[in-house]
Structures are given as C-alpha cells and as structure tokens.
Copies of this chain bind each other. A is one copy, B any other.
C-alpha cells in the first residue's frame, strides 16, 4: 500500500513538473501578471472572459522573440548576401556601400545611413522569385552564425518567450508576429521556430508582381511595419484589434497602445526590458537598436508589464537548458 502511495506521489510530482507553466520564468511580477491575465480572460464565469475567436496576441520579433544586437539579424543576412553575390557584381568593389561591406568597414556602411542600407537590402532581397528567395533565407538561417555569440541566429530566440507563445496557444490564443523585419525574411524559418503559421507572420513588405506563374520580387519598398505601421499591418492581416501585445521598443508602442484601447476586452501589454549585459545585452533609452524610451515611461505610468530579463528569466536562450 505504501509502495502504491509513493508511486502515485512520484507520478503526481512528475505530472506537476511536466505541466508547469512558464518554467523558465522566475516567480515574480511578470509571471504573475501574465498568468492572472490568462486565467481571468479564459474563465467562462469571469466578467473578463474573452471568446476564443477574439483571443488575438501580437508579438514583435526583433528584441522581443530573439536578440537584435549589435544590429538586426536581417542586416547580417544582407551583409552575407553581398559577400556571396560579389563575384557576380564586380562593380561593387568601387560602389558604396557595397565596397565598405566587402572590405569589412562597418563604420562606413553604417554611415551610409538609410539610403545605403536600403541599397543593400534591395540588392540582396529582390530580383528573384519568392520561392528562390525562400531557399536563400533557409540556407542562411541553417548555416550562418552570430559574430560574437558564435551560434546559429535561430538559437538566439528567447526560451521564456517560446514558453509564453505555447502557454497562450494552450489557452486558445492565436499568436501573430508583427515585426518591422521583412515578412519574407521571417516566414521561411520563423514559422517552425516559433510554431506560428506563415500566414500569421506580419512584417515590412517589398513590392512583388505576378509574372510567368511566379511571384517576382521588385526593388521597391511597399510597406513599413513599424511604429504607426504596426496597427495598420494588424488591420490588413488580422482584421481585429488584439487583446495582448508584446514588444521591446518604442517601435512597438503604437501596436501596444492600439491593443490597450480595445473597447471590448481586458488587455495585456508586456515590454521585454533588456537588462542583462552578461547573458544577452543591456540597453534601452539610448540604444541605436530597439530604443525603449517613450514606451518605458508610458508603461510604468500605465501599469504595463515590464520584464526584467536579468531578474525574471532563469535562462535567456534554449541552449542554456542543455548545460
């Protein structure tokens, strides 16, 4: 009899452990606010109950679901593509900002500003079919490594956020990415990594045209899914105001405020605050990437959830779990 009791007890402990929610989140303000929110809006007897069809959760990508330092990873992709394509473009040796890229002179590249970066993006992201571009992105994400972390870029996703995505989906939320990054850069790999279908990934768009039964990528910017563009992108792709929004920068602020202003439902807004200069990077108000300034003030005043990565996350990246 005692033996059976112990076995049952062991099983119970195992079960508890196996189903623990958000396991790499330390007990604390953020985990509590997330779970309180989800419990409230999924409880049929609560006045805060939200029907499943309206449980729309939107996530920024860069800096929210994966790292974004020292520059957006899509920029590294562009750099790597310039190098890979340079033999077909001998003129790049004497044309900025391509020359600087090939010479590894990142200061000059950055100094070329928006116009220079745009040239790099167009030269590396267009002029082929969408299916050809997919193949190039998949090859890169499977092989290219981060310059200082020395792991695949897709290994630099945040373990606690993967758990949060899962937790929300288990509670019948539909999860979307709403990123300033390129929609066609994310879709080929992000779907698998985050468990989000391709049609639930929203991002900036370049022009395409239909030609010879193919979608062909045209060197013209069509839509910037950042700042006030995020609510617009949500409108076109989702068609409903979200109830939960997750970001890390002022670029996400409009999307989060748009969510907060949902006239029908209780909402959740969460900022990932980059406070960990050891395991990840520490930056906010003064950063050249993912600047969080106006949003941080507003979040504090309006009781949004602010995640202190250093204090609240047991691990940052999935590979830390194996140690």
Q: Which residues of A contact B (CB under 8 A)?
A: 53, 130-131, 174, 176, 183-184, 187, 191, 197-201, 205, 208-210, 213-215, 228-229, 231-232, 235-241, 254, 257-258, 260-261, 263
Indicate whether A235 sits within 8 Å of B215 (C-beta atoms), given known contacts A199-B199, A199-B200.
yes
Q: Is the CB of B130 within 8 A of A238?
A: no
Whether A232 contacts B213 by the Cβ 8 Å rule is no
CB <8 Å contact, B131 and A235: no
B198–A215 touching, CB < 8 Å:
no
Copies of this protein in the assembly total 2
Query: Which residue from B209, B229, B261 sits with its C-beta under 8 Å from A213?
Result: B261
- Other-chain contact of A239, B176, B187, B258, B261 (Cβ < 8 Å): B187
Could you tell me if B263 and A131 are in contact, using CB atoms closer than 8 angstroms? Answer: yes
A209 near B236: Cβ-Cβ < 8 Å: no
> Which residue of B131, B208, B254 is within 8 Å of A232 (Cβ)?
B208
Using A199-B237, A208-B236, A213-B257 as known contacts, list a sample of 6 further A-B pairs with CB atoms less than 8 Å apart, ordered by residue number in A.
A53-B197, A174-B197, A198-B238, A198-B240, A199-B240, A210-B258
Check A215 against B232 for contact (C-beta < 8 Å): yes
Q: How far is the CA of A232 from the CA of B207 in the complex (A)?
A: 9
Q: Which residues of B contact A187 (CB under 8 A)?
A: 239
Give Cα A236–Cα B215 distance, bound, in whole angstroms: 10
A257 to B257, CA, bound (A): 42
Q: Which of B214, B228, B235 contacts A130 (CB 8 A)?
A: B235
Task: Give the residue name and chain of the B residue nearest to A255 (CB).
Answer: B210
**B237 pairs with A237, CB closer than 8 A:** yes
* Nearest residue, chain B, Cβ from A213: B261
Q: Which of B191, B201, B231, B260 contacts A215 (CB 8 A)?
A: B231
Cα A3 to Cα B210 in complex, Å, equals 64
Give Cα distance in the complex from A184 to B213, angstroms: 28
A210 contacts B228, C-beta separation under 8 Å: yes
Question: Is B208 a contact of A239 with CB atoms below 8 Å?
Answer: no
What separation, in Å, do the CA atoms of A267 and B149 have in the docked complex? Answer: 43
Q: Are A199 and B261 in contact (CB under 8 A)?
A: no
Closest 5 CB pairs of A and B: A213-B261, A198-B239, A210-B228, A210-B231, A187-B239
Name the residue in A197, A210, A228, A257 with the highest tally of chain B Cβ atoms < 10 Å from its Cβ.
A210
- Contact call A183/B213, Cβ cutoff below 8 A: no
Shortest A251–chain B CB gap in Å is 13
Shortest CB-to-CB span from A40 to chain B, Å, is 23
Cα separation A53 to B205 with both chains bound (whole Å): 23
Q: Which of A197, A209, A258 has the most C-beta atoms of chain B within 10 angstroms of its own C-beta?
A: A197
Q: What are 21 A-B pairs with beta-carbon distances under 8 A?
A: A130-B235, A131-B241, A131-B263, A183-B239, A187-B239, A198-B240, A199-B199, A199-B237, A199-B240, A201-B239, A208-B232, A208-B236, A209-B232, A210-B254, A210-B258, A213-B258, A213-B260, A213-B261, A214-B261, A215-B231, A215-B232
